[in-house]
């Protein structure tokens, strides 16, 4: 690969090969404005009416061509962020690494980006790369041709022109859509170094769209997976939710693991991996991710805290067992201390917000409290805010651990569905079967018989 003499960065033509424009006329594609968000159309028309170029771009165009409903409608234009803000009163500029305009329509946000140029050619101090080639700041503006060259995957480099309703395809994305391929634009190794998260995006698109990853695009991923360790933990948290909580979590996890990407995000979990996927940690991963996918398909709410609590449970127990053996701690104290260690270590890689780590701790603590059902404890436990999450997790554990854990989960299932009298009977049965778990026997006061005789 050739280098520029001045900055020792790769030659532009090696990284961003010159692309040939293929214009697909309105008669040749299936995109209709009926399927484009009204708010996105408002932004497109206003930019176009003000004399700027305006294109619907990226995943929105890709999904419309696949007859799917886009999650977002992103727009690219030759207007600068400041010019966009002058056109829209409901505009907010965000971002340092990438300067973007958000046009606000209540809760609906239309993201507008200015065409990107090549950071290798700019003389402005608006672009910065690390020694490893990662882009740290990148506000270099250019033409639509340069913008297309800068996009990551061919299927994301198609532009819907509001001027004549044609599609501008710069990288053969339309052909790759037909061939069901995820293909990087440019040299894969250099593009992954620029932004290692592109490796995660390749996996996500392949699973979501049921595409294959093109051979050259896939080849460097496993060897370069360690570059994810340089990505800020806050960004990896957001990416982990996109990967695992978008309805395809189970399949995504297996493909990530195949390319050594999951191991970078969850090193504590990866230490339990086996060749035959037989460890309790691996069984729990399959169970919780499959359950999450089903809930999303059914339109039910999901909570990241529950997923992380389940994924990290068996690494937590292993740490607690070590503390009990080494420092003779009680089970409760060992789990409390182990929970601090496990969460601290995981947050180094994925910055799980504090509101979620607090919930994770509550779910874990409930696993210690749910076996203690005597007296009024069972009734009080059911009143706790996180009881349902704790019980759902107990049921998952029961599927894996069977035995006493499974029986405990079945008891709680029956208890929840029972009437008041039956619940009281269930608790009474527990106390009669296991008196040591019931009320403590009162010790009779000690009486001195000698004194009693003499006083009479």
**Catalytic site positions:** 72, 74, 152
Concatenate the DSSP letters of all residues of 396-441 into one string. HHHHHH-HHHHHHHHHHHHHHHS-HHHHHHHHHHHHHH-GGGSPPP
* Integer Rg of the chain from CA: 29
Q: Which of 81, 14, 53 is nearest to 168 (CA)?
A: 53
Q: Phi and psi of 302, rounded to 5°?
A: -130, 150
Q: Which of 369, 419, 417, 404 is nearest to 390 (CA)?
A: 369
Q: 48 near 54, Cβ under 8 Å?
A: yes
Q: Phi and psi of 225, rounded to 5°?
A: -60, -30
Q: Which of 376, 349, 377, 105 is nearest to 239 (CA)?
A: 349
Q: What letter does residue 444 receive in the DSSP assignment?
A: P
Length of the chain: 456
Q: 127 near 137, Cβ under 8 Å?
A: yes
Question: For 411, what's the count of Cα atoms within 13 Å in the CB-facing half-sphere?
Answer: 18
Question: For 28, what's the count of Cα atoms within 13 Å in the CB-facing half-sphere?
Answer: 11
Q: 75 near 47, Cβ under 8 Å?
A: yes
The span from the CA of 77 to the CA of 79, in Å, is 5
Angle at which helix 280-297 crosses helix 313-327, to 10 degrees, equals: 150
Q: 147 near 157, Cβ under 8 Å?
A: no
Encoded tokens for 64: 């419309």
């Amino acid at each position: 690969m050739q280098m520029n003499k001045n900055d020792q960065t790769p030659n532009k033509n090696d990284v961003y090969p010159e692309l040939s424009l293929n214009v697909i006329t309105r008669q040749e594609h299936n995109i209709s404005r009926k399927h484009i968000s009204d708010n996105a159309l408002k932004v497109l028309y206003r930019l176009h009416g003000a004399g700027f170029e305006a294109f619907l771009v990226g995943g929105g165009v890709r999904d419309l061509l696949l007859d799917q409903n886009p999650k977002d409608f992103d727009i690219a234009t030759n207007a600068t962020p400041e010019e966009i803000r002058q056109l829209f009163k409901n505009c907010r500029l965000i971002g340092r690494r990438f300067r973007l305009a958000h046009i606000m329509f209540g809760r609906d946000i239309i993201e507008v980006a200015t065409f990107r140029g090549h950071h290798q050619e700019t003389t402005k101090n608006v672009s910065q790369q690390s020694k490893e080639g990662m882009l740290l700041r990148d506000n270099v503006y250019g033409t639509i041709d340069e913008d297309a060259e800068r996009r990551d995957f061919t299927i994301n480099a198609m532009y819907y022109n509001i001027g004549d309703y044609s599609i501008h395809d710069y990288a053969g994305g339309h052909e790759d859509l037909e061939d069901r391929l995820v293909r990087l634009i440019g040299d894969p190794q250099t593009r992954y170094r620029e932004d290692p998260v592109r490796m995660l995006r390749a996996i996500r698109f392949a699973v979501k769209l049921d595409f294959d990853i093109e051979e050259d695009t896939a080849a460097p991923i496993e060897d370069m997976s360690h570059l994810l360790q340089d990505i800020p933990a806050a960004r990896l948290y957001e990416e982990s939710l996109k990967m695992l909580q978008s309805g395809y979590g189970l399949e995504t996890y297996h493909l990530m693991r195949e390319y050594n990407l999951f191991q970078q995000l969850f090193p504590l979990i990866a230490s339990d991996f086996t060749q035959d996927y037989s460890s309790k940690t691996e069984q729990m991963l399959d169970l919780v991710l499959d359950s999450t996918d089903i809930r999303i398909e059914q339109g039910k709410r999901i909570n990241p805290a529950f997923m992380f609590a389940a994924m990290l449970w068996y690494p937590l127990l292993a740490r607690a067992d070590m503390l009990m053996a080494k420092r003779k701690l009680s089970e409760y104290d060992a789990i409390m201390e182990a929970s601090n260690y496990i969460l601290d270590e995981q947050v180094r890689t994925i910055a799980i917000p504090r509101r979620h780590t607090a919930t994770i701790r509550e779910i874990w603590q409930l696993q210690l409290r749910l076996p203690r059902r005597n007296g009024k404890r069972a009734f009080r436990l059911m009143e706790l805010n996180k009881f349902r999450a704790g019980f759902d997790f107990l049921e998952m554990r029961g599927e894996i651990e069977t035995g006493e854990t499974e029986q405990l989960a079945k008891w709680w299932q029956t208890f929840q569905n029972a009437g008041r009298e039956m619940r009281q009977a269930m608790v009474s049965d527990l106390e009669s079967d296991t008196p040591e778990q019931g009320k403590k026997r009162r010790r009779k006061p000690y009486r001195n018989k000698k004194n009693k005789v003499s006083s009479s």
